[in-house]
Amino acid sequence: MMQLIYRLSAVVFLCSVLGYLNAEEVFKHKDWLVATYPDDSKYIKYSTHGTAVWGHEFGFLKTVGDCKADNIYVSWSSTKDINQLKRMESKKVLFELGPDDNFEFQFAIPNLAVTHLIGSNEYFEIPNPLNVMLFTNYFPKYTFLPTLEAGRKISVNVSNQDPHHGNFDIPDDQFSLEGYIAARQYAMELCEMRTKALEIKDQYKVTMR
């Protein structure tokens, strides 16, 4: 129970304090990359971009001290009114995920943040401002990750049965799984290395008392 509370508070802190768009790439293999947050070394993200909309992102977060856990991470864009989108915050949205279209998993993933991408309508030459929504804080069942290792792509769709479906301009996308295994391995090793460094630091503090 305490570990779950730690996971929840960690991700909320990530979204509210660090800013989930402020990440630095540290590793890339094929279509997947690993990024860290310069303001806090406890968080490691490995992810890939959508094939329909590059700004859509699918991947996972790892937290130092809890390296075996993979917290699903989905970032999606929408030109709908931001006040309308913000009414989704803290609510769950039902996503349908199909690795290689052979299986379908349904995950109700919480929407933790909605932010406006400043200058997006001028940069992308679109009539309405672009808003970005973050869905995370969901740890998928153990049967899900092995399907990603064996697959080549995964489809991610907002279920048309979900009441928030209308908030998404493009409710479906596909993501390459080429490079997923290497990115996850790198994220795991980096997480374990930082966990060990943190343990040594804590032990040093104890001996210096």
- CATH classification code of 2-202: 2.60.40.1880
Q: What is the pLDDT of residue 18?
A: 38
Nearest to 75 by CA among 44, 99, 106, 48: 48
The domains of the chain are located at 2-202
- The confidence band for 126, taking pLDDT boundaries of 50, 70 and 90, is low
Query: In the predicted model, what is the mean pLDDT of residues 125-145?
Result: 86
pLDDT for residue 122: 46
pLDDT of residue 105: 95
In whole angstroms, give the CA distance from residue 184 to residue 45.
Answer: 9
pLDDT tens string 55-89: 899 999 999 999 999 999 999 999 999 999 999 99
The pLDDT > 90 percentage for the chain reads: 70
pLDDT at 6: 36
The Cα 119–Cα 135 span in angstroms is 23
Segment 13-44, tens digit of pLDDT: 344 433 455 789 999 999 999 999 988 889 99
Helix (H, G, I), strand (E, B) or coil at 52: coil
